[in-house]
Structure 1
Amino acid sequence: MEKQLPVAVRAHYQSAPSPHKETMLEMRKRILEIVPDAQEVVSYGMPAFKVDETIVAGLLANKKHVGYYPFSGSILKLFPVELAGFSKTISAIHVPVDKPLTKTLLKKLIKAKLTQAK
Protein backbone atom coordinates (compact mmCIF):
# COMPACT_ATOMS: atom_id res chain seq x y z
CA MET A 1 0.00 0.00 0.00
CA GLU A 2 1.31 3.44 -0.88
CA LYS A 3 2.17 5.74 1.98
CA GLN A 4 -0.34 8.54 2.58
CA LEU A 5 0.92 12.03 1.74
CA PRO A 6 0.79 14.52 4.63
CA VAL A 7 -1.49 17.46 3.72
CA ALA A 8 1.27 20.11 3.86
CA VAL A 9 3.50 18.00 1.61
CA ARG A 10 0.69 17.11 -0.80
CA ALA A 11 0.09 20.79 -1.57
CA HIS A 12 3.65 21.14 -2.85
CA TYR A 13 3.28 18.23 -5.26
CA GLN A 14 -0.16 19.37 -6.40
CA SER A 15 1.09 22.89 -7.17
CA ALA A 16 3.96 21.61 -9.35
CA PRO A 17 3.37 21.74 -13.11
CA SER A 18 3.52 18.63 -15.33
CA PRO A 19 5.81 16.86 -16.04
CA HIS A 20 7.64 18.14 -12.91
CA LYS A 21 4.93 16.73 -10.64
CA GLU A 22 5.11 13.24 -12.12
CA THR A 23 8.92 13.24 -11.89
CA MET A 24 8.79 14.39 -8.27
CA LEU A 25 6.20 11.76 -7.36
CA GLU A 26 8.23 9.00 -9.05
CA MET A 27 11.32 10.11 -7.12
CA ARG A 28 9.23 10.20 -3.92
CA LYS A 29 8.18 6.60 -4.57
CA ARG A 30 11.80 5.54 -5.10
CA ILE A 31 13.01 7.41 -2.00
CA LEU A 32 10.33 5.72 0.13
CA GLU A 33 11.39 2.33 -1.26
CA ILE A 34 14.94 3.10 -0.05
CA VAL A 35 13.93 4.59 3.33
CA PRO A 36 10.38 3.30 3.96
CA ASP A 37 10.27 4.73 7.48
CA ALA A 38 11.14 8.26 6.35
CA GLN A 39 8.85 10.97 7.66
CA GLU A 40 7.60 13.31 4.93
CA VAL A 41 7.91 16.93 5.97
CA VAL A 42 8.21 20.38 4.42
CA SER A 43 11.66 21.88 4.92
CA TYR A 44 12.97 25.05 3.31
CA GLY A 45 9.69 25.28 1.39
CA MET A 46 9.98 21.88 -0.30
CA PRO A 47 8.82 18.29 0.25
CA ALA A 48 11.56 16.55 2.21
CA PHE A 49 12.29 13.17 3.76
CA LYS A 50 13.42 12.84 7.37
CA VAL A 51 15.07 9.71 8.78
CA ASP A 52 15.36 9.86 12.57
CA GLU A 53 16.23 13.54 12.98
CA THR A 54 18.10 13.93 9.67
CA ILE A 55 16.62 15.35 6.48
CA VAL A 56 18.07 13.08 3.78
CA ALA A 57 16.48 14.50 0.62
CA GLY A 58 14.30 17.29 -0.71
CA LEU A 59 12.52 17.82 -4.04
CA LEU A 60 11.56 21.12 -5.60
CA ALA A 61 9.96 22.01 -8.93
CA ASN A 62 12.01 24.73 -10.62
CA LYS A 63 11.25 26.40 -13.93
CA LYS A 64 13.47 24.18 -16.11
CA HIS A 65 14.22 21.23 -13.81
CA VAL A 66 13.34 19.39 -10.63
CA GLY A 67 15.83 20.11 -7.89
CA TYR A 68 17.09 17.23 -5.77
CA TYR A 69 18.60 18.49 -2.52
CA PRO A 70 20.64 16.20 -0.27
CA PHE A 71 20.59 18.86 2.49
CA SER A 72 24.37 18.91 2.60
CA GLY A 73 26.95 20.84 0.62
CA SER A 74 29.40 17.95 0.82
CA ILE A 75 27.41 15.02 -0.63
CA LEU A 76 27.29 15.76 -4.36
CA LYS A 77 31.06 16.08 -4.74
CA LEU A 78 31.36 12.46 -3.58
CA PHE A 79 29.79 11.30 -6.87
CA PRO A 80 31.61 13.04 -9.74
CA VAL A 81 31.16 10.11 -12.14
CA GLU A 82 27.50 9.40 -11.35
CA LEU A 83 26.56 13.09 -11.59
CA ALA A 84 28.70 13.97 -14.61
CA GLY A 85 25.69 14.25 -16.92
CA PHE A 86 23.73 16.61 -14.64
CA SER A 87 23.71 20.35 -14.23
CA LYS A 88 24.16 21.04 -10.51
CA THR A 89 25.17 23.44 -7.79
CA ILE A 90 27.07 22.60 -4.60
CA SER A 91 23.81 21.70 -2.91
CA ALA A 92 21.44 20.54 -5.68
CA ILE A 93 21.15 18.31 -8.72
CA HIS A 94 19.12 19.77 -11.57
CA VAL A 95 17.06 16.77 -12.65
CA PRO A 96 15.49 16.93 -16.14
CA VAL A 97 11.73 17.47 -15.73
CA ASP A 98 10.91 14.15 -17.40
CA LYS A 99 13.78 11.94 -16.20
CA PRO A 100 13.65 11.05 -12.48
CA LEU A 101 16.88 10.05 -10.79
CA THR A 102 17.40 6.28 -10.78
CA LYS A 103 16.76 4.33 -7.60
CA THR A 104 20.43 3.26 -7.67
CA LEU A 105 21.65 6.86 -7.66
CA LEU A 106 19.10 7.93 -5.05
CA LYS A 107 20.23 5.06 -2.82
CA LYS A 108 23.88 6.21 -3.07
CA LEU A 109 22.97 9.81 -2.27
CA ILE A 110 20.75 8.91 0.68
CA LYS A 111 23.25 6.40 2.06
CA ALA A 112 26.00 9.04 1.90
CA LYS A 113 23.78 11.51 3.78
CA LEU A 114 22.88 8.95 6.44
CA THR A 115 26.55 8.00 6.87
CA GLN A 116 27.48 11.66 7.21
CA ALA A 117 24.78 12.20 9.84
CA LYS A 118 26.19 9.57 12.19
Structure 2
Amino acid sequence: MSKYADHEAYIAAAAEDLQPLLVQLRARLADVLPDAEELIAYDMPGFGFDKTIIAGYAAFSKQCGLYVSKGAIAAHAADIAAAGLKSTKTGVTFSPRKPIPEDLIDKLALASRRELGV
Protein backbone atom coordinates (compact mmCIF):
# COMPACT_ATOMS: atom_id res chain seq x y z
CA MET A 1 0.00 0.00 0.00
CA SER A 2 1.25 3.46 -0.90
CA LYS A 3 1.85 6.12 1.67
CA TYR A 4 0.07 8.58 -0.66
CA ALA A 5 -3.67 8.32 -1.15
CA ASP A 6 -3.65 10.13 -4.50
CA HIS A 7 -1.81 12.59 -6.72
CA GLU A 8 -2.95 15.58 -4.65
CA ALA A 9 -1.45 14.10 -1.48
CA TYR A 10 1.83 13.38 -3.26
CA ILE A 11 2.09 16.91 -4.64
CA ALA A 12 1.18 18.44 -1.28
CA ALA A 13 4.02 16.49 0.37
CA ALA A 14 6.61 17.76 -2.15
CA ALA A 15 8.86 20.75 -1.58
CA GLU A 16 6.87 23.95 -2.04
CA ASP A 17 9.01 25.24 -4.92
CA LEU A 18 8.48 21.98 -6.86
CA GLN A 19 4.72 21.83 -6.43
CA PRO A 20 3.88 24.09 -9.41
CA LEU A 21 6.04 21.90 -11.69
CA LEU A 22 4.24 18.79 -10.48
CA VAL A 23 0.81 20.37 -10.93
CA GLN A 24 1.74 21.39 -14.49
CA LEU A 25 3.19 17.96 -15.29
CA ARG A 26 0.14 16.16 -13.93
CA ALA A 27 -2.21 18.36 -15.98
CA ARG A 28 -0.15 17.86 -19.14
CA LEU A 29 -0.06 14.08 -18.71
CA ALA A 30 -3.82 14.05 -18.11
CA ASP A 31 -4.31 15.98 -21.37
CA VAL A 32 -2.01 13.79 -23.47
CA LEU A 33 -3.24 10.52 -21.91
CA PRO A 34 -6.94 11.34 -21.41
CA ASP A 35 -8.14 7.75 -21.11
CA ALA A 36 -5.41 6.65 -18.68
CA GLU A 37 -6.08 6.20 -14.99
CA GLU A 38 -4.29 8.16 -12.29
CA LEU A 39 -2.34 5.59 -10.31
CA ILE A 40 0.08 5.47 -7.41
CA ALA A 41 2.79 2.81 -7.82
CA TYR A 42 6.05 2.47 -5.89
CA ASP A 43 4.93 5.55 -3.91
CA MET A 44 4.98 7.64 -7.12
CA PRO A 45 2.04 9.10 -9.03
CA GLY A 46 1.57 8.07 -12.62
CA PHE A 47 -0.82 7.46 -15.47
CA GLY A 48 -1.58 4.08 -16.94
CA PHE A 49 -3.89 1.09 -17.07
CA ASP A 50 -4.24 -1.57 -14.37
CA LYS A 51 -0.65 -2.03 -13.23
CA THR A 52 1.04 -0.75 -16.40
CA ILE A 53 2.46 2.73 -15.85
CA ILE A 54 2.83 4.75 -19.05
CA ALA A 55 4.30 7.82 -17.38
CA GLY A 56 5.11 8.50 -13.75
CA TYR A 57 6.59 11.45 -11.92
CA ALA A 58 8.44 12.14 -8.73
CA ALA A 59 9.76 14.99 -6.62
CA PHE A 60 13.11 14.98 -4.89
CA SER A 61 14.76 17.63 -2.74
CA LYS A 62 15.76 19.98 -5.58
CA GLN A 63 14.39 18.47 -8.77
CA CYS A 64 11.59 16.45 -10.32
CA GLY A 65 11.60 13.48 -12.63
CA LEU A 66 9.38 12.21 -15.41
CA TYR A 67 9.59 8.43 -15.85
CA VAL A 68 8.61 6.64 -19.05
CA SER A 69 9.69 3.58 -21.01
CA LYS A 70 13.32 3.02 -22.05
CA GLY A 71 12.36 3.25 -25.71
CA ALA A 72 10.72 6.64 -25.21
CA ILE A 73 13.89 8.06 -23.66
CA ALA A 74 16.06 6.57 -26.40
CA ALA A 75 13.77 7.82 -29.19
CA HIS A 76 13.82 11.38 -27.86
CA ALA A 77 17.39 11.62 -26.54
CA ALA A 78 18.17 14.48 -28.93
CA ASP A 79 15.08 16.42 -27.79
CA ILE A 80 16.03 15.89 -24.15
CA ALA A 81 19.57 17.12 -24.80
CA ALA A 82 18.29 20.09 -26.82
CA ALA A 83 16.17 21.12 -23.83
CA GLY A 84 19.31 21.03 -21.67
CA LEU A 85 17.95 18.27 -19.46
CA LYS A 86 19.59 15.13 -18.12
CA SER A 87 18.20 11.65 -18.56
CA THR A 88 18.65 8.12 -17.29
CA LYS A 89 17.45 4.96 -19.03
CA THR A 90 13.87 5.63 -17.96
CA GLY A 91 13.66 9.22 -16.77
CA VAL A 92 14.29 12.91 -17.32
CA THR A 93 15.08 15.28 -14.48
CA PHE A 94 14.08 18.93 -14.40
CA SER A 95 13.81 21.78 -11.93
CA PRO A 96 12.22 25.20 -11.49
CA ARG A 97 15.35 26.73 -13.09
CA LYS A 98 15.19 24.31 -16.02
CA PRO A 99 11.60 23.05 -16.49
CA ILE A 100 10.63 20.34 -18.94
CA PRO A 101 8.94 21.70 -22.09
CA GLU A 102 5.32 20.67 -22.60
CA ASP A 103 5.98 19.33 -26.11
CA LEU A 104 8.69 17.06 -24.68
CA ILE A 105 6.25 15.74 -22.05
CA ASP A 106 3.82 14.95 -24.88
CA LYS A 107 6.44 13.20 -27.02
CA LEU A 108 7.75 11.09 -24.14
CA ALA A 109 4.32 10.07 -22.85
CA LEU A 110 3.01 9.11 -26.29
CA ALA A 111 6.20 7.21 -27.19
CA SER A 112 6.02 5.33 -23.90
CA ARG A 113 2.40 4.41 -24.56
CA ARG A 114 3.24 3.15 -28.04
CA GLU A 115 6.14 1.06 -26.75
CA LEU A 116 4.08 -0.45 -23.93
CA GLY A 117 1.17 -1.15 -26.27
CA VAL A 118 -1.55 0.24 -24.04
TM beyond 0.5? yes
Q: Which runs of 5+ in 2 are unaligned?
A: none
Match of 2:112 in 1: 113
Q: Find out whether 1:91 has 2:90 as its counterpart.
A: yes
| Alpha carbons 2:71, 2:111 under 8 Å: kept | no
Distance 2:87 2:7 in 1: 24
Matched residues, number: 112
After TM superposition, list the pairs within 5 Å mapping 1:1-118 onto structure 2: 7-51=5-49, 54-70=52-68, 72-84=69-81, 85-118=84-117
Distance 1:99 1:31 in 2: 19
Distance 1:110 1:73 in 2: 11
Identity of aligned residues (%): 28
User: Structure 1 residue 54: deviation in Å?
Assistant: 3.1
Distance 1:8 1:54 in 2: 17
User: Structure 1 residue 104: deviation in Å?
Assistant: 1.3
| Alpha carbons 2:44, 2:57 under 8 Å: kept | yes
Q: Structure 2: which amino acid aligns with 1:112?
A: A
Distance 1:48 1:94 in 2: 15
SS at match of 1:74: helix
* Structure in which a larger fraction of residues adopt helix: 2
Query: TM (normalized to structure 2)?
Result: 0.82
| Alpha carbons 1:23, 1:99 under 8 Å: kept | no
